[in-house]
Amino acid sequence: MQVRFWGTRGSIPTPGHRTAIYGGNTSCVEVQATDGTTLILDCGTGIRLLGLDMLRRAGPHRIHLLIGHTHWDHIQGFPFFTPAFLPGTELNIYGSAGFQRSLEDSLSGQMQYSYFPVKLKELASRLHYTELEEGCFRIGDVYVQTQYLNHTAPAIAYRISSDGATVAYVTDHEPFWNSPGPVFHHPGDQRHIEFIRGADLVIHDAQYTSDEYHTKIGWGHSPADYATDVAAAAGVPRLALFHHDPTHDDGAIKLLEEAQRLRAAAMGSLLDVFAAAEGMAFDIVGKGGEKTVAEDSALDRRPIAGGRVMIVSPHHPDFVAIEQVLPDDGLLLTPVPEGQTALQVAVRTAPDLVIINARLADGDGASFIQPLRSLLNKPDLPILLLTEGRDGTETLYSAESIATDYLAKPFSPPMLRTRVRAWLARTIGTVGTPLEVILPPPDQDIDPVTLQEDFPQVGTMEEVLASIPIFASLSPDQLERLVASSTEHSFPPGYVLVCQDDPGEDTYVIVSGRARVTETVSDSPVQMFLGEVGPGEIVGEIGVLRQRSRSASVVTLERTRCIAIPAKVFLELLQNSTAMSLALLQVLAGRLYDADRLLARHAPDPLTGLPGRRAFHELYRRLTAGAKRRGTSILLLVLDVLHLKDINDRFGYTVGDDVLRTLADALIESSRSTDLVSRYGSDEFAVLMVEAGAENAELIIKRVQQKLRALTISRGIPLRIECRIGYTVSMSPPETADELLRLADDQMQGKRYGQAK
């Protein structure tokens, strides 16, 4: 492999005579494998010069751009990468999705007309986007492995192997713990060392001196000492100090380089340390084969929405701070003040991740780590311990009580969010995937006796109901009346406990197991995830209170035992017990608050009333899951309104808005209620049709044209609406819509459909 540095600076470009030796362009490294595969690591401003150099090479170009993360200094050169403007270029872009933004969204954000004269969609090259998780994948003969880094945004490192040579690209990254090398006790630092072990060259973040780092903790970058120490601990032969601080001139970087060479020598290491400089190029000759540090595919998306996080802290501000950090990730947060209470609550909530304060009122937070894992039978349950310091003097506990991760207070909010996302993506897999629900045959229930052995004994019905806060205030006579009229049932996974729009006949108390609450989107079979319920919670109470049809569906996620309370008895007890009414009111208020926050994430586009990009991707999974089970095809259409900016400039934004609304209405009138119509971008629409094939595509496109023409005339729009339409068909839809969107977009190029006034 050959490596060449085109940009070595971090944070912001620093051109000038003071940075002439090591360079002033931001991050960009080119790697060429012996089979000719070209990989580019990051697209800071250094990619401009790389692009110009590529024009002198034989084309057409097939390029693989690997982006560590989407902070500006790692993507700001992309609009100036000349090969991206050429029709013959195929540009495959890989990277981690940002906070609630896709890789494509992050790149296109800096290429809006407000900031740049050319939009991302207007580039002539063929662009393909692949969002990565932690894992491995191949690009031809090149083996690529990824691992999450400790940064203020979802960032990943790349380990690239070809023909026995390996390069590890590790930027931006901060020590997990401020422990002096060569021994590292934090699990994150240990994972980091194992990731780079065996590499022939490590390109590592080394932005600060150790003195500077003390004032930059939580900024997401490493001191040079740490880069040298982890490289020495991993036994790698060569280390390139990278991501130079914008305040460091050539003289400062030279001193840093010399200091790290002396540090390596003092440790008795043969590590060759050098500061990366623009224009530096050399061949990497390896001595071994590929080392596997990741087992899972990096191409498998692992959504975390619906993940359950328990926060154990006696300090309410801790929960408030964490809640503010995780507002848009769709996580279910449960605050608990004490360790013993956490053990009780964990049985009911089955958390996917626990954040626990090191200092609790009833003991050391670390002492509850092993009991939590044993109680839940999850030896690998990720537990993040909040500590009071990270200066190397605080204990990182014994093997019996070791946490998965440690974070010192005051913590960096985006760094905590990144850590939580990384651990959930590693451990909960495909949380939020749709279930194939089981509907009971007409007039037939499931025999509770047949499933009795699947559940542990949790007490008599009277004991269970008396332990539920809502019923705790009932008198003995009232409790006896409740028990006498209630029945107990057990259900398998996927059973529809409550079906939306059915009459509200019973209220259910969940004794054991878990269920998911969903709401069907209006005029669509798609279901929106609202939350989960577990032991001690009730469902179906809203339909009983309103004496109307159910407002949502409840589907069991695992074998679940419930107590069914007749609506008449439930209402009678509410009328006779003020305390029970108040307890129920508190429960409903909490659920409404959570539901409002979740529904806000899926609010329709205010202009057209259609689902947006984010809702499209979430609803895609649920619609295509049904198509897969039935073995039917799907048809995906993408539409792009042409010249929208010119329309806004000439006629005003009111007319531009009318154009978008008209196209949205034409799509709705041309599709079925079972189809998904969305406004995918500012001037882009996507339509997903289940049980439709290629033979239907042209007919549907003509129908859209006719509807659009008729609406344009009837609404008096003073122009001819033009759009491009592309489509693709799949008999086996992928897990995510990205590949189908790319295929439809490729098919769309060059096709234009005009509608007369």
Q: What's the pLDDT at 451?
A: 33
Answer whether residue 442 is part of any domain: no
Task: Answer yes or no: do 490 and 548 share one domain.
Answer: yes
Share the mean pLDDT of the chain.
Answer: 84
Let me know: does 46 contact 7? Beta carbons within 8 Å: yes
- Rounded CA-CA distance 150/293 in Å is 18
The pLDDT of residue 398 is 53
Residue closest to 337 by CA, chosen among 358, 360, 363, 369: 360
For residue 479, being part of any structural domain is answered with yes
**Closest to 90 measured CA to CA, from 112, 53, 117, 65:** 65
Q: What percent of the chain is modeled with pLDDT above 90?
A: 35
pLDDT of residue 666: 92
Q: What is the pLDDT of residues 620-634, one digit of tens each?
A: 877 887 777 677 889
Q: Look at residue 240 in the predicted model and tell me its pLDDT.
A: 98
Dihedrals φ, ψ of 408, to 5°? Answer: -85, 145
Q: Quick: pLDDT tens for 55-78.
A: 988 777 889 999 999 999 999 999
Helices 339-349 and 369-376, interaxial angle, to 10°?
20
Distance CA 505, CA 414 (A): 46
The mean per-residue pLDDT over the stretch 26-44 comes to 94
The count of structural domains within the chain is 4
pLDDT tops 90 at residue 217: no
Rounded Cα–Cα distance for residues 752 and 757 (Å): 16
- Average pLDDT in the 384-413 region? 70
With CA atoms as reference, report the closest residue to 181 among 225, 216, 238, 236. Answer: 225
241 in a structural domain: yes
Beta carbons of 117 and 408 less than 8 angstroms apart: no
Distance of CA 342 to the CA centre of its chain: 27
Contact 403/384 with Cβ under 8 angstroms?
Answer: yes
Residues in the chain, how many? 757
**Cβ-count burial 610-637 (b if 16+ within 10 Å, e if not):** bbbbbbbbbbbbbbbbbbeeeeebbbbb
Query: Residue 454 — very low, low, confident or very high, per pLDDT cuts 50/70/90?
Result: very low
CA distance 130 to 102: 10
363 and 405 co-located in one domain? yes
Residue 572 has pLDDT above 50, yes or no: yes
**What is the pLDDT confidence band of residue 756, given thresholds at 50, 70 and 90?**
very low
Taking the alpha carbons of 626, 632, 633, 639 in that order, is the dihedral positive or negative? negative
> What pLDDT is recorded for position 560?
84
Q: Cβ(193)–Cβ(235) under 8 Å?
A: no
How many CB atoms sit inside 10 A of residue 579's CB? 12
* Closest among 181, 715, 626 to 435, alpha carbons compared: 626
Residues paired with residue 158 on neighbouring β-strands, in sequence order? 146, 169
- Tell the burial category of 310 from Cβ atoms under 10 Å away from its Cβ (0-12, 13-18, 19+): buried
* 225, pLDDT greater than 80: yes
Residue 126 three-state SS: strand
Report yes or no on 440 lying in a domain: no
Is residue 63 a part of any domain in this protein? yes
pLDDT of amino acid 599: 60
Assess whether the previous peptide bond of 477 is cis (omega < 30° from 0): no
- pLDDT (0 to 100) of residue 159: 95
Return the closest-CA partner of residue 678 out of 639, 723, 712, 727: 639
* Rounded average pLDDT over 193-217: 93
Give yes or no for a contact between 37 and 141, defined as CB atoms under 8 angstroms apart. yes
- Average the pLDDT over 652-677 and give the result: 90
**Residue 456: predicted pLDDT:** 41
**What residues make up the domain containing 206?**
2-283
Q: What residues contact 540, with CB distance under 8 A and at least 6 apart?
A: 497, 498, 504, 506, 507, 508, 550, 554
User: Quick one: which H or E segment has residue 644?
Assistant: helix 644-651
Give the separation between CA 545 and CA 358, rounded to whole angstroms: 43
Show which of 283, 318, 341 is a domain's final residue. Answer: 283
Considering 376, 395, 427, which residue would you say is the last residue of a domain? 427
- What count of other Cβ atoms lies within 10 Å of the Cβ of residue 718? 11
Q: What is the pLDDT of residues 508-525, one digit of tens each?
A: 888 888 888 877 655 444
Q: Kindly calculate the radius of gyration of the chain based on its CA atoms and give it in whole angstroms.
A: 29
**Does the pLDDT of residue 15 top 90, yes or no?**
yes
Average pLDDT over residues 41-64: 91
Residue 216 structure tokens: 């930059």
pLDDT number for residue 597: 61
Q: What is the pLDDT of residue 327?
A: 63
Residue 438 has a pLDDT of 36
pLDDT of residue 289 exceeding 70, the answer is no
Give dist(CA 236, CA 239) in Å, integer: 8
Higher-pLDDT residue of 169 and 218 is 169
Residue 393: which CATH number? Answer: 3.40.50.2300
- Whichever domain contains 584, its CATH number is 2.60.120.10
- Residue 258 pLDDT exceeds 90: yes
Q: Which amino acid is at 732?
A: S
On whether both 395 and 498 belong to a single domain, the answer is: no
Decide if 240 contacts 275 (C-beta within 8 A).
yes
The arithmetic mean of pLDDT across residues 361-372, rounded, is: 90
| 557 plus 630 within the same structural domain | no
**Per-residue confidence at 100, pLDDT binned at 50, 70, 90?**
low
Q: Is 70 exceeded by the pLDDT of residue 83?
A: yes
Q: Please check the confidence at residue 656 and state whether its pLDDT lies above 80.
A: yes
Confidence of residue 389 (pLDDT cuts 50, 70, 90): low
Query: Which is it for the CA torsion 579, 585, 591, 593, positive or negative?
Result: negative
**How far is residue 240's CA from residue 205's CA, in Å, rounded to a whole number?**
9
Locate the DSSP E strands across 534-663: 538-539, 553-556, 560-566, 634-641
Residues 208 and 245 in one domain: yes
Which of these three, 538, 571, 601, is where a domain ends?
Answer: 601
Looking at the structure, do residues 589 and 619 belong to the same domain, yes or no? no
Q: How many helices (H) and strands (E) does the chain have?
A: 20, 34
What is the per-residue pLDDT for 690? 86
Does 74 lie in the same domain as 132?
Answer: yes
CATH number at residue 672: 3.30.70.270
CA distance 250 to 475: 80
* Band of residue 205 on the pLDDT scale cut at 50, 70, 90: very high
Tell me phi and psi for residue 342, to 5 degrees. -60, -40
Least confident of 388-402, 494-508, 606-620: 388-402
The yes-or-no verdict on residue 547 having pLDDT over 60 is: yes
Evaluate the CA torsion angle 687, 693, 698, 699 in order and state its sign: negative
In this model, does residue 441 exceed pLDDT 50?
A: no
The answer to whether residue 168 is domain-embedded is: yes
Max CA distance (Å), the chain: 90
Minimum mean pLDDT among 107-111, 159-163, 400-404: which range?
400-404
How far apart CA 122 and CA 113 sit, in angstroms, is: 11
Shared domain check, 312 and 266: no
**pLDDT for res 635:** 92
Whether 399 has a pLDDT exceeding 70, the answer reads no
Same domain, 144 and 172: yes
Residue 437 lies inside a defined structural domain of this protein: no
The better pLDDT of the pair 295, 454 is held by 295
Q: Which helix (H) or strand (E) holds 421?
A: helix 413-427
Question: Quick one: tokens of 642?
Answer: 């042409």
Residue 307 has pLDDT above 50, yes or no: yes
> Which burial class, exposed, middle or buried, applies to 453 when counting CB atoms under 10 A from its CB (0-12, 13-18, 19+)?
exposed
> What is the average per-residue pLDDT within 663-671?
91
Q: Are residues 595 and 651 in the same domain?
A: no
Q: b or e along 202-223 (b: 16 or more beta carbons within 10 Å of the residue's beta carbon)? A: bbbbbbbbeeebeeebbbbbbb
Helix, strand, coil percent values for the chain (each to nearest 5): 35, 25, 40
| Same domain, residue pair 31 and 152 | yes
pLDDT band for 230, please (50, 70, 90 cuts).
very high
The whole-number pLDDT of residue 432 equals 35
Percent of the chain with pLDDT over 70: 87
CATH number of the domain encompassing residue 245: 3.60.15.10
SS (H, E, C) 726-739: EEEEECCCCCCCHH
Of 14, 113, 15, the closest CA to residue 644 belongs to 113
User: Cα separation of 515 and 180, whole Å?
Assistant: 47
pLDDT band at residue 736 under the 50/70/90 scheme: confident
- The reply to whether 15 and 98 lie within a common domain is yes
Residue 691 in any domain: the answer is yes
pLDDT of residue 276: 97
- Taking only the tens place, the pLDDT of each residue in 582-614 is 888 888 787 677 666 656 555 678 888 888 888
Q: What is the pLDDT of residue 447?
A: 38
Q: Which of 89, 163, 103 is nearest to 132 (CA)?
A: 103
